[in-house]
């Protein structure tokens, strides 16, 4: 379990680092940016519990992000919402250059996964100049299960933006 948690933590760190490094460019457009919503207000603990199939601790807010942990304190869901700005295309191109980007159609204005070798993926979705990042690491869940849970959560977030 420690190896799986470390793998998820490493992947989540990679995904968040890519997200935050790209956001430095995005912040240059702050004058025209749309104010991002507080991520913990976009999903309820019950919604997170429903996709995981197990209880979670209340969402913990961070700057532009929220995390939900299980009873053992392991992060199971990560949600971040940032202003996309006009540099979104550069960010997307950067992610595509990794070779791990998998487009998702019909979900948002634009959406894609950044795949990993483990059971985790990161789902990015763009709506109304908001860039959403969701990662799910369900206990004993397959990659397909986690990706499905990410889609469900993004679908629940999108109408609130």
Residue 35 confidence (pLDDT): 56
SS3 77: strand
Q: What local confidence, expressed as pLDDT, does residue 119 receive?
A: 87
Give the CATH number of the domain where residue 74 resides: 3.40.1000
Coil/strand/helix, residue 53:
coil
Number of domains in the chain: 1
Answer whether 19's CB lies under 8 Å from 45's CB: no
**Maximum CA extent, the chain:** 45
Whether residue 1 has pLDDT greater than 70: no
Q: Which stretches of 28-87 are DSSP H helices?
A: 45-52
Torsion region of 158: left, alpha or beta (phi above 0 gives left; psi -120 to 50 gives alpha):
alpha
Kind and range of the H or E element at 17? helix 2-27
- Tens-digit pLDDT profile for residues 5-64: 444 444 444 454 444 444 444 343 333 334 557 999 999 999 999 999 999 999 999 989
Task: Give dist(CA 129, CA 106) in Å, integer.
Answer: 17
Q: What is the pLDDT of residues 70-121, one digit of tens each?
A: 999 999 999 999 998 878 889 899 989 998 899 999 999 999 999 887 888 8
Task: Find the domain containing 69 and state its range.
Answer: 2-160
């Amino acid at each position: 379990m420690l190896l799986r948690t470390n793998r998820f933590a490493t992947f989540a760190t990679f995904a968040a680092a890519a997200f935050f490094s790209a956001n430095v460019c995005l912040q240059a457009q702050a004058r025209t940016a749309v104010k991002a919503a507080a991520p913990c207000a976009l999903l309820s603990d019950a919604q997170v519990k429903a996709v995981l199939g197990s209880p979670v601790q209340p969402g913990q807010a961070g700057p532009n992000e929220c995390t939900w942990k299980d009873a053992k304190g392991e992060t199971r869901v990560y949600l971040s919402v940032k202003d996309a700005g006009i540099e979104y295309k550069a960010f997307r191109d950067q992610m595509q250059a990794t070779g791990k980007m998998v487009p998702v159609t019909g979900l948002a204005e634009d959406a894609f996964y950044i795949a990993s070798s483990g059971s985790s993926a990161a789902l990015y979705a763009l709506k109304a100049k908001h860039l959403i990042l969701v990662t799910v690491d369900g206990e004993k869940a397959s990659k397909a299960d986690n990706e499905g849970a990410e889609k469900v959560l993004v679908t629940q977030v999108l109408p609130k933006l």
